[in-house]
Structure 1
């Protein structure tokens, strides 16, 4: 890369808790969620250019990643340029480490990284508040990718309140070769609720993250966190995917404290009782032919890398 390139790294996320309200008239669902940023990253390099262009590579399958304005990172760069009155362009090179369409916010991490990278490249100096406002316009998960750590998300998930999480939480991720569409999963949840097939078939108007979840994070105690983790979207994500149900059962049988579908899936996140337990679980899952990764959280959000 050129010496004047800006390199920004942003993390993927796990939804430790995800409550989903009834679909509103604008088509969105109110959420009460707890995000945790984990050590699986997207790397974005921004290089000066006359126009706007994008290339994508990575350790995961990137064949389905768009290279035009459907890509959140491209939209982030153009939104920043329009907002700040920048007439220059940028070439973005993205190296993906977060699964595509995996429920871990990889595209949102790209957008957050692009905002930080272009802000530095062009010297627009919007500051944290300005970048957050642009992030919220791009998508519900983008503001969290910008900030990282552990946070409670309300509204569409973009209204963030930092949550204190002491210590380190170790996770083992099981990746899937077949992604899931987030809108499809939400739509399936709506249909299941209509027919009484979902666990939360009558969502309340007022959504809250249970105090027990926040207390477990504050204590830094994985054993306390495990029984209170929950994802309303899980029942819809695993519907018609027996491989996900089998993986969830296998991970717990192999020693995970609990397992949960991350966001809209299909990535599964197993909570382990420390680093050694996570490595042992990862080895056992790999022995069954699954792609398993050991990650930890919380980690910071989008940051410039020297």
Structure 2
């Protein structure tokens, strides 16, 4: 964390990850790839699932260009499909039974899908990919988390969670679909609520595992370049074009809040981190603003229960 009397956190400040097993979703591109690269550079064994084996293998090859001896394993996972999440969890259980996972980073996501789309399970694509899939994945992999200090579950949210609201009568955008400040912001608020509620439940269960979170600010990745084009209001698109050179950062810098949440010894129980610059758009990791709705305990409890119903699984701690 950056204060007047401390040095800004950079990738060089990541402690050694030797002997640690890390799983990062969406690590074939963007901030997920940069996080995987830096953790591999520090000696972690990184499991890197993507929607296709070709994408996962490509990311593995790119990491090994920079870290020739990196311990990186490709796999297949499509978070928009609950069957795929279950299949991946079964694959992990068969490959690495017992408490074998030190760090889970729920990073993968989609943003501002122009038109409402439904997944194979009948759920709105952004809510399914950004929230339901990660919730189920975490529930299924939690038994494999090492129950010791240093183990962490990191959930990547977004600054637009502050504009989100949870509409239980419109969770799947069945009444109205708004790509960015409806479906996307709702899914990312749900991620933040999940991160905080998970920490409450971990604490109540006496688990040493930390639930932390982060958002990347305005990081230029394929999420921005391929997602919201054409679906934001014209005025906002003009503003983003003007702000981009001044208020954005590359994927490597956008990954720093995630890396802080994942590996910094100074990350706190339930901590949520983002950039320290104007409107949390760019800069070094510091504690980020938490949307007031994310602190609503009754909302969190209701969302947790509804999520278990939607994914068809209990999250047992």
TM-score over 0.5 (shorter chain): no
Shorter-chain TM-score tier: under 0.3
TM-score by length of 2: 0.27
Give the structure with higher Rg (CA): 1
Answer 1 or 2: which has greater helix percent. 2
Answer 1 or 2: which has greater strand percent. 1
